């Protein structure tokens, strides 16, 4: 499932192509993938241009504005700009393809009047969602998500961790608390920080919060530099795979020696998802009165 580094890779791959491009039309081929009320705006040839692509957590935000010349010529429309948001779900991705090629499972296409390629949204498993919005953070996809994991400050991150009694594993992956991290990077970040996934965020020492914040940023940045991780289906806009899966230290490495201590990496299944960690390098929580009464049965 694409997480922050994969979505950021898509953003960087598409940014140059999309920015400044004259949009000819945008067609939703499968309406089931669309959420929210606003419909795609009516595209008159040459009316809209791509203004750039932003990202928040696992959501990509493509901006469109009216072509200035067109606006003068046909003034009084009242439409200034809109955004196309995409959440990748399990298998969604943007691909840049030639004029008449339609990859299987294409659910949306954007055509341009000054580009020979099109952008298509491909999603075999259809868990991804797209939404048209005039204000991105009032949309269904973004109105209830927390700060972006890559840009959150250390102090806000600490507030988030202190606000919940849930485990670090669960808190880091809760998009309502912090946007962008899923099962893969949660495991890699906690291993990098040397923190047990079962510890509670509110029990961390101040210095442990700072270490975790630094690990989160360094792991995410390293993954972005490698073009993200390709585990099942993630592919870049030209079909290339990411490279960070080769650098995973615990994720997917059950039974293999921990790169730090040599003991086997452990895998447990929680809520139908696999959790990978090193019980030796990520020791159970420090013993406190509060934590002793809610010890996780998986800890040792």
The burial of 207, by beta-carbon neighbours within 10 Å (0-12 exposed, 13-18 middle, 19 or more buried), is given as exposed
- Residue among 280, 286, 288, 294 that touches Zn ion (CB under 5 A): 280
Distance from the Cα of residue 119 to its chain's centroid: 19
CB of 299 to Zn ion, least distance (A): 15
Smaller CB distance to Zn ion: residue 8 or 188?
Answer: 188
Axis-axis angle for helices 206-225, 4-18 (nearest 10): 50
**Quick check: 257 binds Zn ion (CB under 5 A)?**
no
**Quick check: 224 binds Zn ion (CB under 5 A)?**
no
The half-sphere exposure of 276 on its side-chain side, counting CA atoms within 13 A, is 24
58 is catalytic: yes
- Rounded alpha-carbon distances, angstroms, from residue 61 to 8, 58, 71: 11, 10, 23
- Residue among 42, 74, 261, 288 that touches Zn ion (CB under 5 A): 261
**Quick check: 265 binds Zn ion (CB under 5 A)?**
no
- Which part of the chain contacts Zn ion (CB under 5 A), choosing from 56-64, 127-135, 226-234, 254-262? 254-262
Q: What share of the chain is helix, strand, coil (3-state, %, to 5)?
A: 30, 25, 50
The helix/strand/coil state of 27 is strand
- Residue among 258, 266, 275, 277 that touches Zn ion (CB under 5 A): 258
Rounded CA separation 176/269 (Å): 23
Length reported for the chain: 300
257 is catalytic: no
Smaller CB distance to Zn ion: residue 84 or 258?
Answer: 258
Q: Residue 156: in which H helix or E strand, if any?
A: helix 154-162
**Quick check: 260 binds Zn ion (CB under 5 A)?**
yes
CB of 276 to Zn ion, least distance (A): 11
- Active-site residue (options: 240, 273, 290, 294): 273
Closest CA relative to residue 18, chosen from 73, 95, 89: 95
Tokens of 163: 């606000």
CB of 266 to Zn ion, least distance (A): 10
- Which part of the chain contacts Zn ion (CB under 5 A), choosing from 131-139, 160-168, 186-194, 256-264? 256-264
200 is catalytic: no
CB of 53 to Zn ion, least distance (A): 39
73 is catalytic: no
Give the footprint of Zn ion on this chain (CB under 5 A).
Answer: 258, 260-261, 278, 280-281
**Residues belonging to the active site:** 2-3, 58, 273
């Amino acid at each position: 499932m694409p997480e922050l580094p994969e979505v950021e890779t898509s953003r960087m791959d598409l940014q140059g192509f999309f920015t400044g491009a004259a949009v000819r039309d945008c067609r939703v081929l499968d309406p089931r993938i669309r959420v929210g009320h606003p419909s795609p705006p009516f595209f008159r040839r040459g009316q809209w241009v791509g203004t750039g692509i932003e990202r928040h957590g696992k959501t990509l935000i493509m901006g469109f504005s009216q072509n200035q010349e067109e606006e003068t010529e046909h003034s009084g429309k009242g439409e200034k700009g809109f955004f196309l948001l995409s959440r990748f779900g399990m298998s969604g991705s943007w691909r840049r393809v030639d004029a008449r090629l339609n990859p299987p499972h294409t659910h949306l296409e954007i055509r341009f009047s000054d580009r020979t390629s099109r952008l298509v949204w491909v999603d075999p498993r259809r868990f991804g969602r797209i939404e048209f919005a005039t204000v991105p953070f009032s949309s269904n996809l973004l109105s209830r998500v927390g700060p972006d994991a890559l840009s959150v400050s250390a102090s806000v991150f600490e507030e988030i961790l202190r606000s919940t009694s849930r485990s670090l594993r669960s808190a880091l992956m809760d998009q309502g608390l912090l946007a962008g991290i899923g099962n893969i990077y949660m495991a890699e970040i906690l291993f990098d920080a040397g923190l047990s996934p079962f510890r509670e965020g509110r029990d961390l020492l101040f210095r442990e919060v700072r270490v975790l914040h630094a690990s989160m940023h360094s792991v995410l940045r390293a993954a972005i530099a490698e073009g993200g991780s390709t585990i099942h289906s993630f592919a870049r806009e030209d079909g290339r795979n990411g490279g960070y899966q080769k650098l995973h230290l615990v994720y997917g490495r059950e039974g293999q020696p921990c790169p730090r201590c040599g003991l086997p990496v452990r895998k447990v299944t929680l809520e139908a998802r696999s959790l990978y960690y090193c019980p030796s390098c990520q020791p159970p929580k420090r013993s406190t009165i509060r934590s002793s009464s809610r010890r996780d049965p998986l800890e040792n």
